[in-house]
Each structure stands twice: as C-alpha cells, then as structure tokens.
Amino acid sequence: MKKRFISAILAIAMIAVMIPMAAVSVSADGPYKVTYYMFNPDTYDMYPAYTDTVDTDFYTVRDGGEVGVFYDGYQFVGWSDAPKAMDPQYWPYQQYNITGDLDLYPVWKQMAPVQPMFGVVYNGNGFTGGTVPRDLLGYFVGPNEIMVPAAKDPGTMVRDGYIFKGWNTKADGTGITYQPGTVLPYPDPVQDIYLYALWAPAPPDTGITVGVCDPNMTIAGETISIYRLFDATVNADGTSYAYTLATAFNDLPAYLDTAALPSSFKHQGHYAEDIQNLVTDLGLLDPNNARDSGDLYLFSQVLQNYVLDLPDGLSPKTPTDSYIGQSGDRNHKFTNIAVGYYLILGAAVTSTGGSVVNYSAPMLLTNDAPVSVCMKINAPVIHKTEDKMTAAIGDTVNYTVTGTVPNMKGYTDYTYILHDTMSAGLTFDPNSLTVTIGDNTLTETSGDIAVTVNPSPAALGQPTAIKIDFLKFYTDYKDQVGAAITVKYAAALNECAVVYPDANKNKAYLEYTSSPTGETADTPPFETVVYTFKLGIDKYIKGYPSEKLADATFSLLQNNTALKFKQGADANTYIYDPDGPITTFTTDTSGQIVFIGLDVGSYAVREIKAPNGYNKLNADIPAVISLIDSEGGNSVSYWINGAANSTGIMGVENGTGNLLPGTGGIGTAILYTVGLFILFGGGALLIIKKRRNKSKLLQN
C-alpha cells in the first residue's frame, strides 16, 4: 500500500514538470498573428480560414474543426508551417512560444473509402398465419463484400386459400419475382431491397388419401406409391376432361400394344400410333358394370407389371410420390399433386434383395377432387382368360384363371375359394379341371381342394355354379408368397346357347380372407363371353319378296362339305350339330330357314331342288360371318354374295323358265305353212317324175 502511494506522488510530480515545458511565453515584440489555412489535398488550393491575435505569454493551437478546416475522405491529424507537409509540427490543444506571425497548414491523412451497405426487408403481403421471414444482416457493396443476399424460404408464413409463389419487388406482383434460394442482385443505387410475398389462389384440393378401412389393420411398414400416367385438364364446369400421356411414361403405348388386354379395349395394338385410342377405350368402360369393372381391374394389373418391370425387361418406373407407413398409420394423404390419371399400388412385402414380390390390389382413378380409397393390404388378385371369343355349338372353350399367393402375415387361417358361374349355353367339363400352385398339382383325392358343381351333373338349359375351395391354403402356402396359382377348365357350347347379339357368359371371382379377424371379401368379378351366330334363307318369287316359295331344298356348306344340323324349336329352325342327322332343308310356305350355332367363317348356300315350275340356282351363294371390334363394342358383319348384310338373312329368288312354243297360234300357222310347202313340193316332184317315166316308155 505504501509503495502504491509513493508511485502516485511521483507520477503527479512528473506531469507538473512536463506542463510548463509545453507553455512558452510570448516575446516582448508581440502581439503576433496566427493564421489557419484551409488546404485542399486534391487541388492544392488554399485560403485563410481563421486568424488569431496572440498577445499572451502562451498560445494554445486550435483544432481543425474549430477553425472550419475539414475535407471529405481525409482525416485532420495536425498542423504544419508549410503546405503539403506529410507530418504535423503543431498539435491541437498544445501550447507554443510564438516569436512572430505564424501560418499553419492542415496535415491530412487519406481515409479508406466507406463501403455502401443495404438490407433485405420481407413483407408478408396479406399473410394470415405463421411468421414473416427476417434478414438481420447488412450487405456491403464493393470489392470487399463477403456475403451475398439470397431470397429466404417462406417458412411458416401462410395465407388462407392461397399458395406461396415466391417474392416480388412490388406488392402488386408487377415487379421482379425471386424464388427462395435465388441470389439477389445488388441494388443500384444502394438502398434496402423490399420483397413482398407473392400469392396465387390455391387450386382445388386434388389430394389422394390412401389407407385401410379395416380398423384392425394399419399401413405400418407398407410402401404406398402413386404413378401419374396421364396429365389431365378439366374444363371450368367440371364436365369434360382432356388427357395427355405423362412424359415419364412415353414407352407405355408400345408396351400396351404387346400386352394381353381385355377384348373391351377396341383399339388394342394401335396405341403407339395414337395414345388417344387408349383414352377412348377407357372412356367407354363403365366401372359400375360388372364386366367393365373386371376389365379395368385386369388393365390395372397390366399397368402394375409395366411400372414394376415384373415380366418384360423394361426399366422400373419412378413413382410420382410414395410413402412408407409409420407405426399406427391407417392412411396417408398425398397432397400438392397435379390432376391426372393415377395408378395406386401398395407394397405388401419386400424380399431381402429389395424386389417387390406381392402388391395389394392396384387401383386407377382421376383426382379432379379429393379422393379417398381403401387399400386391401395383402388382397389377392385374379384374372381370367378364354382361348376363343366365338364358337360353334359343340366347340370347346378353354378357360384359365391365374393369381398369386398373397402375403398372409398376421393371419392364423386364410380362406381362398374360386367361384365360377357358367350360363345355360355352356356345359362344364369336370374332367378338364386342373389346379396348380407353383410346381405343385392340387387334387381332391389328396385333400388339397374341394370342388362343388351345382347342378351335378350339369343340366341342359340351366346355369352351372362351380366352387373350388383351397383347403390347405394357409398351412401349405403361407410361406410361398408370390407363387403362381393356375386353374384351368373347359366348357362346351351347347344347344341352349344364345345367339349374337346375346352372349354366353362366364363369370369368376375370388372369395378370400380380408382381415386377420376372419372377415371375408370378394374380388371384382371377371366376366368372359362367347358368341355364336346364325344365318338364314328367305325364299321368294323373283321380283316379289313378299311372295314366299315353299318346297325349295338347300344345304349349308363349309369348305364344300355339307354341315349337319338337328331340328330346332320350330319347323324352320335348325341347330348346328356335328353329329346331326339333317344335311338338307326344305322351305315351307313361310319360305324361311334359319341355321343357328355357327362360328365366324365362310359358308355357302346351295340349292338342291327348286320348287316345281321354277328354275334351280346354278351357283352357290357365298356368306361370310365376322366379328368386328369397334368403339361401340363388338359387332357382327355379314357378307352375302359379296354385299354387306345387316341381318344374316339372305334373300333367295327363284324365277320360272321361258315357255317353249305350243301347237296353236302362230306356231301352228308356221307348221301348216311348212306342211303345205312340203305337200305341194312333193306333189310337183311326183308329177315331174311320172312325166319323165312316161316319156321313157313312149320312146321305147
């Protein structure tokens, strides 16, 4: 403490000694003038700025600011008695001894230039919730800038009924628009940048909500994917739609041209040339119609194979969006997605290699409004095909139903029953039934399946219901997810078959367990159809279609062979029967003959005998039956004798022959004339001959 006190006393003493050293008395010759000059360091111009008269013992030098000496960009550091000096000799507020008049010039030190600075200010411009972004930084303009401004993300800022479209330099949106993350240009002149939120009316909600409706199930761990195959635009009143193929699926038309599609798709094979053909075909399908619904379902499976690259070596497609279900999730809504035609898939299981081996039932929809759909996680799928769509009575039609073993994770048992109903025109052949899963053949004798046919045996004229129950499906196949299931059977088209335009239908669907708690559901039905056709004869007098002719006899030929028939329900109708007893057919007074149960193909009608008094046809009448696919559905085409015919009933005319001359009338007159000529001529010859003979006698 004592040492610190002594040090303080010494410091005060030193200051007291130094102060008199800076103060100098004025000489006796005074007073003197001290003139302060303003000196321009750029132009070297100078002028007196202030003058002091010194008449005291000490003079304290003034600061530049006191005498009005300053210059932008330069710092005043002191005074010199010579202009342009680099170092000061006199310091402000110091006292000096003046011995004469003194001129003082400022000594300048050039300062570093000051960099302009600006900020970015954000305005919510009508926002209704959240927080407007803030930028608390300042940005310098010049060679030493170390930061550049970028437009900020809107963060939590929202506006009800609107979507954020970026930032604009004007509140009304007529300025320059910047998207979040865009680097902002430096303003010229330098000033703060004001950015206003740019809002646009929010489009209608087109979200797609996908989930499970069963309260006992979740989508946890399931991957739900949506694929926008077509972009769609909707007119103002929402009554018409325009579809264009999404760019990511440009190879879809070519793929579909080689795929097996339902017969209701009229333009199949011609989608690559114009994809609008597919739009037209889809537009003709009614999802509320059982057959159309089944065809749409089959089409969705074709699309599933396409996007997943299951069988065809194409590149798998990237989903438009996807979601992996979290614990407890029962649904997920895909938002901010464009209006379009979407394929929705839900993955049910994934192999260790990452490849998908089973999917829930695929779905198709247009999201022109909010859509909610229930996925049937692990739902099995089937589809059915037939080997022919047209047939003659007696022909065999072969059917194939295919599916895959579903994922039965979480189940303790599983119902898998195939149902099939055949119309009265089809006779099921129980010996044709085969059932396989993977490489295994399932039979009734081994207890794998139970087959029920009702009625059994099949009764002519009645529909037949077939039920195939897979008895060991869960125990034997729960670990074979994705294994192929194939069921094959056949039916014959019988004499009760309906004739086109009616169809002989066959419908199949699957009954399966839809929930681990045991509830069952049915898949959409697959309906296949078989058509058979007719040809008819209408016999009448030539030139008088209403005057029918009886007793004309015909045969119907194919490949120059007479076809066989049996008698139909009435005298004029004949049913095709390869083993039938009838090959010739005679008209009654109606002039009508109708052949039913024919397949498409070329035929010929041959007249065997004409009615008495009429000439028989000297040539066969060709007839062709064709089934044509068109936008309005299947239609039959008849060509009779080279001309189109809308009914398949051919008009056959018979005329009488030319009448030979009789013995009366002009014919008789001619004969008389000739007879007389011969008579008179003969008489002349006789007379002449007699005269000649007489002359000979006289001469003798």
If you write DSSP's letter for every residue of 205-257 in order, what string do you get?
P--EEEE---TT---TT-EEEEEEEEEEEE-TTS--EEEEE-GGGTTHHHHHH
Please tell me the distance from the alpha carbon of residue 165 to that of residue 201, in angstroms, as a whole number.
10
**Residue 491 and residue 409 in one domain:** yes
**Residue 430 and residue 369 in one domain:** no
Within-domain flag for 685: yes
Within-domain flag for 255: yes
**Residue 253 and residue 366 in one domain:** yes
Within-domain flag for 12: no
**Residue 245 and residue 358 in one domain:** yes
**What's the domain count of the chain?**
6
Please tell me the distance from the alpha carbon of residue 416 to that of residue 285, in angstroms, as a whole number.
29
Model confidence pLDDT, tens digit, residues 604-651: 999 999 999 899 998 999 999 998 765 455 678 888 988 888 889 999
Q: Are 108 and 87 in contact (CB under 8 A)?
A: no
**Residue 212 and residue 194 in one domain:** no
Could you tell me the residue range of the domain that residue 245 belongs to?
Answer: 208-374
pLDDT at 362 over 80: no
Within-domain flag for 10: no
Q: Is 658 exposed, middle or buried (0-12, 13-18, 19+ CB in 10 A)?
A: exposed
Q: How does DSSP classify residue 310?
A: S
Please tell me the distance from the alpha carbon of residue 297 to that of residue 271, in angstroms, as a whole number.
19
Within-domain flag for 442: yes
Please tell me the distance from the alpha carbon of residue 385 to that of residue 206, in angstroms, as a whole number.
36
Q: Which of 51-55, 112-116, 165-169 has the lowest mean pLDDT?
A: 112-116
Model confidence pLDDT, tens digit, residues 329-340: 888 999 888 888
Q: Which of 247-251, 305-309, 444-448, 679-683 has the lowest mean pLDDT?
A: 679-683
Within-domain flag for 387: yes
Please tell me the distance from the alpha carbon of residue 339 to that of residue 589, in angstroms, as a whole number.
66
Within-domain flag for 400: yes
Please tell me the distance from the alpha carbon of residue 67 to that of residue 503, in angstroms, as a whole number.
116
Within-domain flag for 9: no
Give the contacts of 419 (CB within 8 A, at least 6 positions apart). 465, 466, 467, 508, 509, 510, 511
pLDDT at 659 over 80: no
Average pLDDT over residues 593-598: 96
pLDDT at 684 over 70: no
Model confidence pLDDT, tens digit, residues 429-447: 999 999 999 999 999 999 9
**Residue 129 and residue 104 in one domain:** no
Token representation of residue 455? 């009625």
Please tell me the distance from the alpha carbon of residue 421 to that of residue 462, in angstroms, as a whole number.
11
Tokens 């007489």, residue? 694
Q: Which of 150-154, 171-175, 212-216, 305-309 has the lowest mean pLDDT?
A: 212-216
**Residue 215 and residue 357 in one domain:** yes
CATH number of the domain residue 576 falls in: 2.60.40.10
**Residue 352 and residue 226 in one domain:** yes
**Residue 342 and residue 212 in one domain:** yes
Residue 216's pLDDT is: 64
The confidence band for 296, taking pLDDT boundaries of 50, 70 and 90, is confident
**Residue 367 and residue 397 in one domain:** no
Q: Which of 111-115, 184-188, 355-359, 463-467 has the lowest mean pLDDT?
A: 355-359
CATH number of the domain residue 425 falls in: 2.60.40.740
Give the domain-ending residue among 527, 550, 567: 527
Give the domain-ending residue among 170, 202, 234: 202
**Residue 470 and residue 393 in one domain:** yes
Q: How many CB atoms lie within 10 A of CB 145?
A: 12
Q: Are 34 and 66 in contact (CB under 8 A)?
A: no
CATH number of the domain residue 173 falls in: 2.60.40
Q: Are 359 and 348 in contact (CB under 8 A)?
A: yes
Please tell me the distance from the alpha carbon of residue 507 to that of residue 522, in angstroms, as a whole number.
13
**Residue 236 and residue 369 in one domain:** yes
pTM beyond 0.85, yes or no: no
Give the domain-ending residue among 374, 400, 430: 374
